[in-house]
Amino acid sequence: MNKNKILLVDDELNIRETITEFLIYKNYEVKSANNGQEALDIIEYWIPDLIICDIMMPIMDGTKFHEIIKENKSLVAIPFIFMTAKKENNLMRKCMLNGADDFISKPFKTKELLNIIATKIDRFQKIKNVHNNLYVGEKKYFLHEVNTPLNGILGSIDLLLDNVNNLEKEDRKTFYNAIKISGERLNRTMQNLILYESLKNNELNFSDNEQCEILNVFWKTKKKILTTYKNQENRITFEIDKANLKISKKNLNFILFELIDNALKFSPTNTIIIISGEKYNDTYYELIIRDFGIGFSPKELNTINAAQQFNRDEREQQGLGLGLYLSKTIIKKIKGVFSIISNENKGTKISLFLPLSPE
Protein backbone atom coordinates (compact mmCIF):
# COMPACT_ATOMS: atom_id res chain seq x y z
CA MET A 1 0.00 0.00 0.00
CA ASN A 2 1.34 3.46 -0.95
CA LYS A 3 2.20 5.72 1.97
CA ASN A 4 0.75 9.23 2.17
CA LYS A 5 3.39 11.84 1.36
CA ILE A 6 4.10 14.89 3.52
CA LEU A 7 6.37 17.84 2.71
CA LEU A 8 7.74 19.55 5.83
CA VAL A 9 9.19 23.07 5.42
CA ASP A 10 11.00 24.62 8.38
CA ASP A 11 14.35 26.35 8.79
CA GLU A 12 14.99 24.90 12.27
CA LEU A 13 16.98 21.70 11.81
CA ASN A 14 16.00 20.15 15.16
CA ILE A 15 12.30 20.65 14.47
CA ARG A 16 12.60 19.25 10.94
CA GLU A 17 14.46 16.15 12.10
CA THR A 18 12.17 15.50 15.08
CA ILE A 19 8.91 15.85 13.14
CA THR A 20 10.29 13.92 10.16
CA GLU A 21 11.36 10.96 12.30
CA PHE A 22 8.03 10.97 14.12
CA LEU A 23 5.95 11.02 10.93
CA ILE A 24 8.06 8.30 9.31
CA TYR A 25 7.48 6.22 12.44
CA LYS A 26 3.76 6.82 11.92
CA ASN A 27 4.10 5.36 8.40
CA TYR A 28 4.16 8.55 6.34
CA GLU A 29 6.63 9.23 3.53
CA VAL A 30 8.31 12.53 4.36
CA LYS A 31 10.62 14.99 2.60
CA SER A 32 11.82 18.18 4.28
CA ALA A 33 13.08 21.57 3.13
CA ASN A 34 14.86 24.47 4.82
CA ASN A 35 12.77 27.18 3.10
CA GLY A 36 10.14 27.78 0.43
CA GLN A 37 12.61 27.73 -2.46
CA GLU A 38 13.97 24.33 -1.45
CA ALA A 39 10.38 23.12 -1.12
CA LEU A 40 9.58 24.27 -4.68
CA ASP A 41 12.63 22.37 -5.95
CA ILE A 42 11.31 19.20 -4.28
CA ILE A 43 7.79 19.65 -5.64
CA GLU A 44 9.14 19.73 -9.18
CA TYR A 45 9.73 15.98 -8.98
CA TRP A 46 7.77 14.81 -5.89
CA ILE A 47 4.13 15.77 -5.28
CA PRO A 48 3.00 15.57 -1.63
CA ASP A 49 -0.46 14.81 -0.24
CA LEU A 50 -0.02 17.49 2.42
CA ILE A 51 2.31 20.41 3.20
CA ILE A 52 3.32 21.56 6.69
CA CYS A 53 5.12 24.89 6.54
CA ASP A 54 6.69 27.39 8.92
CA ILE A 55 6.02 31.08 8.27
CA MET A 56 9.31 32.83 9.14
CA MET A 57 12.14 31.38 7.00
CA PRO A 58 15.11 32.77 5.03
CA ILE A 59 15.28 33.07 1.21
CA MET A 60 11.55 32.36 0.75
CA ASP A 61 9.15 32.49 3.68
CA GLY A 62 6.03 30.40 4.15
CA THR A 63 3.63 33.10 3.01
CA LYS A 64 5.35 33.53 -0.37
CA PHE A 65 5.65 29.76 -0.81
CA HIS A 66 1.92 29.39 -0.09
CA GLU A 67 1.07 32.08 -2.67
CA ILE A 68 3.02 30.19 -5.36
CA ILE A 69 1.28 26.91 -4.49
CA LYS A 70 -2.14 28.58 -4.68
CA GLU A 71 -1.40 29.90 -8.18
CA ASN A 72 -0.50 26.45 -9.52
CA LYS A 73 -3.52 24.57 -10.89
CA SER A 74 -2.00 21.16 -10.26
CA LEU A 75 -0.98 21.94 -6.65
CA VAL A 76 -3.69 24.25 -5.32
CA ALA A 77 -5.81 21.42 -3.85
CA ILE A 78 -2.97 20.03 -1.68
CA PRO A 79 -3.78 20.69 2.02
CA PHE A 80 -1.49 23.41 3.39
CA ILE A 81 -0.91 23.69 7.15
CA PHE A 82 0.95 26.67 8.60
CA MET A 83 3.08 25.95 11.66
CA THR A 84 4.71 28.78 13.60
CA ALA A 85 5.94 30.03 16.96
CA LYS A 86 5.30 33.60 15.88
CA LYS A 87 3.04 35.53 18.25
CA GLU A 88 0.80 37.98 16.45
CA ASN A 89 -2.82 38.98 16.91
CA ASN A 90 -5.15 37.44 14.35
CA LEU A 91 -2.26 35.55 12.67
CA MET A 92 -4.30 32.35 12.48
CA ARG A 93 -7.27 34.20 10.99
CA LYS A 94 -5.01 35.94 8.46
CA CYS A 95 -3.51 32.61 7.32
CA MET A 96 -6.93 30.98 6.97
CA LEU A 97 -8.32 33.93 5.00
CA ASN A 98 -5.35 33.62 2.62
CA GLY A 99 -6.38 30.04 1.84
CA ALA A 100 -4.47 27.88 4.33
CA ASP A 101 -6.25 24.68 5.35
CA ASP A 102 -5.17 24.81 8.98
CA PHE A 103 -2.85 26.47 11.46
CA ILE A 104 -0.87 25.00 14.36
CA SER A 105 1.16 26.92 16.95
CA LYS A 106 4.53 25.81 18.28
CA PRO A 107 4.93 24.09 20.65
CA PHE A 108 2.17 21.57 19.93
CA LYS A 109 1.22 18.07 21.01
CA THR A 110 2.04 15.28 18.56
CA LYS A 111 -1.49 13.90 18.92
CA GLU A 112 -2.88 17.26 17.79
CA LEU A 113 -0.61 17.28 14.73
CA LEU A 114 -1.52 13.69 13.80
CA ASN A 115 -5.24 14.41 14.04
CA ILE A 116 -4.94 17.43 11.76
CA ILE A 117 -2.83 15.50 9.24
CA ALA A 118 -5.20 12.51 9.15
CA THR A 119 -8.27 14.73 8.69
CA LYS A 120 -6.77 16.87 5.92
CA ILE A 121 -5.29 13.95 3.96
CA ASP A 122 -8.55 11.99 4.19
CA ARG A 123 -10.47 14.93 2.75
CA PHE A 124 -7.83 15.49 0.06
CA GLN A 125 -8.04 11.84 -1.05
CA LYS A 126 -11.82 12.08 -1.33
CA ILE A 127 -11.51 15.24 -3.43
CA LYS A 128 -8.95 13.55 -5.70
CA ASN A 129 -11.20 10.53 -6.16
CA VAL A 130 -14.21 12.66 -7.09
CA HIS A 131 -12.39 15.23 -9.24
CA ASN A 132 -9.57 13.16 -10.64
CA ASN A 133 -9.44 14.91 -14.00
CA LEU A 134 -6.54 13.93 -16.23
CA TYR A 135 -6.05 17.47 -17.49
CA VAL A 136 -5.73 20.52 -15.21
CA GLY A 137 -6.07 23.13 -17.97
CA GLU A 138 -9.04 24.57 -19.85
CA LYS A 139 -11.64 21.94 -20.71
CA LYS A 140 -12.25 23.45 -24.16
CA TYR A 141 -8.58 22.95 -25.10
CA PHE A 142 -8.66 19.34 -23.96
CA LEU A 143 -11.81 18.67 -26.00
CA HIS A 144 -10.25 20.39 -29.03
CA GLU A 145 -7.06 18.29 -28.82
CA VAL A 146 -9.11 15.07 -28.65
CA ASN A 147 -11.93 15.88 -31.06
CA THR A 148 -9.85 17.47 -33.85
CA PRO A 149 -7.68 14.40 -34.65
CA LEU A 150 -10.57 12.05 -33.90
CA ASN A 151 -12.75 13.84 -36.45
CA GLY A 152 -9.85 13.71 -38.91
CA ILE A 153 -9.61 9.93 -38.50
CA LEU A 154 -13.34 9.24 -38.69
CA GLY A 155 -13.90 11.70 -41.53
CA SER A 156 -11.15 10.16 -43.66
CA ILE A 157 -12.42 6.63 -43.00
CA ASP A 158 -15.96 7.66 -44.00
CA LEU A 159 -14.71 9.12 -47.28
CA LEU A 160 -12.70 5.96 -48.00
CA LEU A 161 -15.72 3.75 -47.34
CA ASP A 162 -18.11 5.92 -49.36
CA ASN A 163 -15.77 5.99 -52.36
CA VAL A 164 -14.19 2.56 -52.11
CA ASN A 165 -14.54 1.89 -55.85
CA ASN A 166 -13.89 5.41 -57.12
CA LEU A 167 -10.60 6.46 -55.57
CA GLU A 168 -7.26 6.27 -57.33
CA LYS A 169 -4.29 4.76 -55.54
CA GLU A 170 -2.74 8.17 -54.82
CA ASP A 171 -6.03 9.48 -53.42
CA ARG A 172 -6.28 6.51 -51.06
CA LYS A 173 -2.68 7.07 -49.99
CA THR A 174 -3.51 10.71 -49.17
CA PHE A 175 -6.35 9.60 -46.90
CA TYR A 176 -4.16 6.94 -45.24
CA ASN A 177 -1.52 9.55 -44.48
CA ALA A 178 -4.17 11.90 -43.07
CA ILE A 179 -5.42 9.12 -40.78
CA LYS A 180 -1.88 8.36 -39.65
CA ILE A 181 -1.10 12.02 -38.85
CA SER A 182 -4.35 12.44 -36.91
CA GLY A 183 -3.79 9.15 -35.08
CA GLU A 184 -0.27 10.15 -34.05
CA ARG A 185 -1.52 13.52 -32.79
CA LEU A 186 -4.24 11.85 -30.72
CA ASN A 187 -1.80 9.26 -29.41
CA ARG A 188 0.66 11.99 -28.38
CA THR A 189 -2.09 13.84 -26.53
CA MET A 190 -3.19 10.77 -24.59
CA GLN A 191 0.36 9.60 -23.83
CA ASN A 192 1.24 13.05 -22.45
CA LEU A 193 -1.84 12.99 -20.24
CA ILE A 194 -1.00 9.51 -18.94
CA LEU A 195 2.61 10.54 -18.28
CA TYR A 196 1.45 13.70 -16.47
CA GLU A 197 -0.91 11.69 -14.26
CA SER A 198 1.82 9.15 -13.45
CA LEU A 199 4.34 11.84 -12.55
CA LYS A 200 1.77 13.76 -10.50
CA ASN A 201 1.05 10.63 -8.45
CA ASN A 202 4.75 9.71 -8.11
CA GLU A 203 4.06 6.40 -9.86
CA LEU A 204 7.03 6.37 -12.23
CA ASN A 205 10.31 4.84 -11.14
CA PHE A 206 13.58 5.97 -12.70
CA SER A 207 16.30 3.35 -12.51
CA ASP A 208 20.00 4.24 -12.29
CA ASN A 209 20.61 1.36 -14.71
CA GLU A 210 18.76 3.01 -17.61
CA GLN A 211 20.99 4.34 -20.37
CA CYS A 212 21.04 5.22 -24.06
CA GLU A 213 23.30 6.78 -26.69
CA ILE A 214 22.15 10.33 -27.39
CA LEU A 215 23.10 10.68 -31.05
CA ASN A 216 21.17 7.54 -32.05
CA VAL A 217 18.09 8.75 -30.18
CA PHE A 218 18.40 12.21 -31.73
CA TRP A 219 18.47 10.82 -35.30
CA LYS A 220 15.29 8.81 -34.69
CA THR A 221 13.56 11.76 -33.00
CA LYS A 222 14.52 14.14 -35.80
CA LYS A 223 13.14 11.73 -38.41
CA LYS A 224 9.86 11.48 -36.51
CA ILE A 225 9.53 15.26 -36.13
CA LEU A 226 10.11 15.85 -39.84
CA THR A 227 7.08 13.71 -40.72
CA THR A 228 5.07 16.64 -39.33
CA TYR A 229 7.32 19.45 -40.56
CA LYS A 230 7.51 18.46 -44.22
CA ASN A 231 10.46 19.80 -46.23
CA GLN A 232 11.85 21.69 -43.21
CA GLU A 233 14.94 19.59 -42.52
CA ASN A 234 17.21 22.55 -43.22
CA ARG A 235 15.69 24.42 -40.27
CA ILE A 236 17.43 22.10 -37.81
CA THR A 237 21.20 22.49 -37.53
CA PHE A 238 23.04 20.36 -35.00
CA GLU A 239 26.41 19.31 -33.69
CA ILE A 240 25.97 16.51 -31.17
CA ASP A 241 28.79 14.44 -29.73
CA LYS A 242 28.21 10.77 -28.99
CA ALA A 243 27.74 9.87 -25.32
CA ASN A 244 25.94 7.33 -23.18
CA LEU A 245 23.46 8.97 -20.82
CA LYS A 246 21.72 7.71 -17.68
CA ILE A 247 18.22 7.97 -19.11
CA SER A 248 15.97 5.58 -20.99
CA LYS A 249 15.54 5.86 -24.77
CA LYS A 250 11.82 6.45 -24.25
CA ASN A 251 12.30 9.39 -21.90
CA LEU A 252 15.09 10.99 -23.94
CA ASN A 253 13.01 10.63 -27.10
CA PHE A 254 10.09 12.31 -25.34
CA ILE A 255 12.21 15.23 -24.13
CA LEU A 256 13.90 15.81 -27.50
CA PHE A 257 10.63 15.57 -29.41
CA GLU A 258 8.75 17.99 -27.15
CA LEU A 259 11.50 20.61 -26.95
CA ILE A 260 12.45 20.55 -30.64
CA ASP A 261 8.79 20.55 -31.66
CA ASN A 262 8.18 23.61 -29.45
CA ALA A 263 11.20 25.38 -30.97
CA LEU A 264 9.90 24.77 -34.50
CA LYS A 265 6.28 25.51 -33.64
CA PHE A 266 6.95 28.88 -32.02
CA SER A 267 9.48 30.15 -34.57
CA PRO A 268 8.90 31.62 -38.04
CA THR A 269 9.27 29.00 -40.77
CA ASN A 270 12.40 30.71 -42.13
CA THR A 271 14.34 30.55 -38.84
CA ILE A 272 16.96 28.00 -37.82
CA ILE A 273 16.81 25.81 -34.72
CA ILE A 274 20.32 25.18 -33.32
CA ILE A 275 21.05 22.05 -31.31
CA SER A 276 24.41 21.25 -29.72
CA GLY A 277 25.56 18.59 -27.30
CA GLU A 278 28.86 17.73 -25.64
CA LYS A 279 30.29 16.42 -22.39
CA TYR A 280 30.22 19.18 -19.79
CA ASN A 281 32.50 17.33 -17.38
CA ASP A 282 32.86 13.75 -16.21
CA THR A 283 29.36 13.87 -14.69
CA TYR A 284 27.08 15.70 -17.12
CA TYR A 285 26.36 16.05 -20.82
CA GLU A 286 25.17 19.53 -21.84
CA LEU A 287 22.50 19.66 -24.53
CA ILE A 288 21.39 23.06 -25.82
CA ILE A 289 18.29 23.73 -27.94
CA ARG A 290 18.12 27.31 -29.19
CA ASP A 291 15.42 28.99 -31.27
CA PHE A 292 14.83 32.54 -32.48
CA GLY A 293 11.06 32.60 -32.18
CA ILE A 294 8.45 34.38 -30.08
CA GLY A 295 10.14 33.63 -26.74
CA PHE A 296 8.65 34.27 -23.30
CA SER A 297 8.11 37.50 -21.42
CA PRO A 298 9.62 37.66 -17.90
CA LYS A 299 6.14 37.12 -16.41
CA GLU A 300 5.46 34.11 -18.64
CA LEU A 301 8.87 32.62 -17.86
CA ASN A 302 8.08 32.73 -14.13
CA THR A 303 4.70 31.02 -14.54
CA ILE A 304 5.56 28.05 -16.78
CA ASN A 305 3.75 25.03 -15.41
CA ALA A 306 1.52 22.12 -16.33
CA ALA A 307 -1.18 23.11 -18.85
CA GLN A 308 0.12 26.69 -18.92
CA GLN A 309 -0.40 28.22 -22.35
CA PHE A 310 0.01 31.86 -23.35
CA ASN A 311 -2.18 33.56 -25.98
CA ARG A 312 -3.20 30.16 -27.34
CA ASP A 313 -6.05 31.43 -29.52
CA GLU A 314 -4.02 34.33 -30.91
CA ARG A 315 -1.10 32.05 -31.80
CA GLU A 316 -3.35 29.22 -33.07
CA GLN A 317 -1.49 26.97 -30.67
CA GLN A 318 -1.92 23.19 -30.61
CA GLY A 319 -1.27 20.79 -27.76
CA LEU A 320 -2.10 20.80 -24.06
CA GLY A 321 0.87 22.77 -22.73
CA LEU A 322 2.37 19.75 -20.97
CA GLY A 323 5.55 19.07 -22.96
CA LEU A 324 7.85 21.65 -21.36
CA TYR A 325 6.61 20.86 -17.85
CA LEU A 326 6.93 17.09 -18.31
CA SER A 327 10.42 17.39 -19.84
CA LYS A 328 11.59 19.52 -16.93
CA THR A 329 10.08 17.08 -14.41
CA ILE A 330 11.69 14.00 -16.01
CA ILE A 331 15.09 15.71 -16.01
CA LYS A 332 14.70 16.51 -12.30
CA LYS A 333 13.73 12.88 -11.66
CA ILE A 334 16.96 11.58 -13.24
CA LYS A 335 18.99 14.09 -11.20
CA GLY A 336 19.70 16.33 -14.18
CA VAL A 337 19.45 20.12 -14.48
CA PHE A 338 17.00 22.11 -16.63
CA SER A 339 17.70 25.76 -17.47
CA ILE A 340 15.71 28.14 -19.68
CA ILE A 341 16.61 31.67 -20.80
CA SER A 342 14.17 33.54 -23.00
CA ASN A 343 13.48 36.99 -24.39
CA GLU A 344 10.17 38.03 -25.90
CA ASN A 345 10.29 38.16 -29.73
CA LYS A 346 13.97 37.16 -29.67
CA GLY A 347 13.91 33.48 -28.83
CA THR A 348 14.61 30.85 -26.22
CA LYS A 349 17.65 28.89 -25.11
CA ILE A 350 17.09 25.65 -23.18
CA SER A 351 20.10 23.99 -21.57
CA LEU A 352 19.86 20.43 -20.28
CA PHE A 353 22.53 18.87 -18.10
CA LEU A 354 21.96 15.13 -18.36
CA PRO A 355 23.83 12.60 -16.18
CA LEU A 356 26.48 10.62 -18.03
CA SER A 357 26.52 6.86 -17.80
CA PRO A 358 29.83 5.36 -16.54
CA GLU A 359 32.08 4.27 -19.40
Strand duo 273-279 + 284-291: pairing: antiparallel
Pick the most confident of 78-82, 102-106, 319-323: 78-82
For residue 270, pLDDT beyond 80:
yes
Output 106 or 82, whichever has higher pLDDT. Answer: 82
Output 311 or 282, whichever has higher pLDDT. Answer: 282
For residue 130, pLDDT beyond 70:
no
Radius of gyration of the chain (CA): 24
Q: Virtual CA dihedral for 331, 338, 249, 280, nearest 10 degrees?
A: -120
For residue 30, pLDDT beyond 60:
yes
Q: Which pTM does this prediction carry?
A: 0.65
- Environment class of 210 (CB within 10 Å of its CB; exposed 0-12, middle 13-18, buried 19+): middle
The amino acid that residue 303 corresponds to is: T
For residue 314, pLDDT beyond 80:
no
Whats the size of the chain, residue-wise?
Answer: 359
pLDDT band at 18 (very low <50, low <70, confident <90, very high): very high
As a whole number, the mean pLDDT across the chain is 83
pLDDT band at 242 (very low <50, low <70, confident <90, very high): very high
pLDDT band at 208 (very low <50, low <70, confident <90, very high): confident
| Alpha carbon 294 to its chain's center | 21
For residue 19, pLDDT beyond 70:
yes
For residue 78, pLDDT beyond 80:
yes
User: What gap in Å lies between CA 264 and CA 319, rounded to an integer?
Assistant: 14
C-alpha pair distances (Å), 23 with each of 114, 142, 262, 292: 8, 39, 42, 49
Tell me the per-residue pLDDT of 325-338, one tens digit each, with 9 for 90 and over: 889 889 988 989 99
